[in-house]
Chain A
Amino acid sequence: MSADTLTRATIGTGHAHFGRLLLAEWTKLRTVRSTVWSFVVLIVAVIGFTSLFTALTVGQWSTMQASDKAQIQLDPVPQILGSGLFLGQLAVCVLGVLIASSEYSTGMIRSTLLASPHRLRMFAAKAIVFTIPVFVIGEALSFASYEIGKAIFSGKVPTSLSDPHVTRAVIGSGLYLSVLGLFALAIGQIIRHTAGAITTVIALVLVLVPLAGLLPGNLGKHVSAYLPTNAGQQIIQIYPKNQILTAWQGFGVFAIWTAVLLAVAAFFLVERDA
């Protein structure tokens, strides 16, 4: 160890204001290799699978049933974006949870809270720093996948961004993923336990909420339509699955669910022991 004495750190005011917290959270995000790699793998997987599945469909075009062909031609966007969106959901759920829960599993929350005892500000910074890359990458991937799918499909399945609602659906994919990321982050922060939170989010998003479609009767249909991801996915549909909520209404409901969960998470963060 060095025998030098300390030198004074002479900088600015030194207050932990919001801009600095944002920078710190960004450093945290970009300096863990597995996080960065996850985004890379996601991009590769989405582009790869979209290309693969659309190419396969085109390859088999001549042997397909007329009714199947007609269905794809009617609504090509789910066919193109579907696989990528599905993978994106999974990735965003896991990453969102980890951003929050890994602070607890590694014990790092203590360092973080010592540096930023203003917990609300830290949580807001964390949420923003996570959502921006998800949004940017989500939108980029949506448009990229769409263009790739459109190119591969050309001749067989005509589609274009100027077709009714197509642009909204493509933009909506990225928006949906961004809100889903925040949804997962909130749950990760509330549960604080990696395995439990990941399971909860995946169970909710991939199993429970879709299963709600089986709820009986008119009441069941309404309840199912207002559940978070069911409502959120309205924004990706060109021909809406349920007529109870329109595209933007559905997205709004999902956003409200997420906002409520984030508020709960923030409350627990501020009140609970580290």
Chain B
Amino acid sequence: MTSTTITGYDQVAALPEPKGRAGFGGALRSEWTKIRSVRSTVWTLGTAILLTVGISALGNWGRANHSGATTAQLAHEDLIQRSMFGIILGQLVMVVFGALAITSEYSTGMIRTSLSVQPRRMHPFWAKLLVISALAFVVGEVISFASFLIDSSFWRGKGVALSLSSPHAMQAVIGGGLYLAGSAILAFGLGAMLRHTAGAITSGVGLLFVVTILASFLPDNWQNHVNKWLPFNAGGQVWATQHVPGSDLGAWTGFGVFMIYGAVAVVFGALLFKKRDA
């Protein structure tokens, strides 16, 4: 029994000769396919948008229309930052997004397939990082712009004129998206280090939330020294327009410090990714 008609394999068209090597471009395309073809991506990013914009809108509408604040009082507040305050929750969802992008490879066992088709191990790693950073950035900007534009309309009704041309507004609004992307990148690095979904999410939440809240139990002058370096406080400067010199870092300095946390996590994650068994 030698006939190959039995399986029909000979009727499948022959593959064209391979051109060149499995390059980085191919890795990028494959990572993009991976991320866009999984439901959790839509879930997490969609939830991030809805929750952040929604909560910002709710809080700002409430304060604009129902609190007793006078226009004079409001002039002293950083309303631009306030208009995006849903980012406090949005960063959490971004952490899930960034962590899942890499930990799901391990939890499903797909990492074995991914690494066996790509001989240069770091290709899929950097490609994945690029893809999720870009995606998180785009979604982050959508969130920050939407929040700002919606909520500034509430404040306009209260007599406070806010627009993108207000001082530092562009920096703050663009910064909101940058901060959200940075949260995802930090979580990605943690996920690569820990390879465990629950662990990566918990440590991401820990670094962003827990550390900040714990620091509030420190005595005041300790807080003055420590607080500004914490990820949430440092990163938060990039979507704020008011900075208290001495107790806050500047907008871009703060963001730089925030991204250093992310970079350290990513570098450690990369090293472990490269060395460890799949």
Contacts and interface: CB of A to CB of B under 8 A. Distances in A.
Interface string B189-230: 000000001100110011001100110011111100000000
Interface stretch (B2-10, B92-100, B129-137): B92-100
Interface in B31-75: 40, 43, 51, 55, 58-59, 62-63, 65-67
Contact of A60 (B43, B51, B219): B219
A211 B55 contact: yes
B88 interface: yes
Contacts of A208: 55, 89
Interface in A53-68: 53, 56-57, 59-60, 63-65, 68
B62 A83 contact: no
Contact of B217 (A82, A97, A199): A82
B198 A98 contact: yes
A194 interface: yes
Band of interface residues on B: 35 or more
A195 B62 contact: no
A79 B217 CA distance: 7
A86 interface: yes
A216 B217 contact: no
Given A198-B201, A214-B63, A207 B214 contact: no
Given A59-B219, A211-B55, A215-B62, A105 B214 contact: no
B107 interface: yes
B49 to A, nearest CB: 15
B116 to A, nearest CB: 24
A198 B62 contact: no
Contact residues on A (Cβ < 8 Å of other chain), bracket: 35 or more
Contacts of A203: 51, 89, 92-93
A102 to B, nearest CB: 9
Nearest to A105: B107
A98 B201 CA distance: 13
Contacts of A97: 198
Interface in A82-116: 82-83, 86-87, 90, 94, 97-98, 105
14 contacts: A53-B218, A57-B218, A64-B219, A68-B220, A87-B214, A90-B202, A98-B198, A195-B197, A199-B92, A207-B88, A208-B55, A211-B89, A216-B65, A220-B66
Interface of A: 49, 53, 56-57, 59-60, 63-65, 68, 79, 82-83, 86-87, 90, 94, 97-98, 105, 194-196, 198-199, 202-203, 206-208, 211, 214-217, 220
Given A57-B219, A83-B217, A217-B62, 11 more contacts: A60-B219, A63-B221, A64-B220, A90-B205, A94-B202, A195-B99, A195-B201, A198-B198, A202-B92, A202-B201, A215-B62
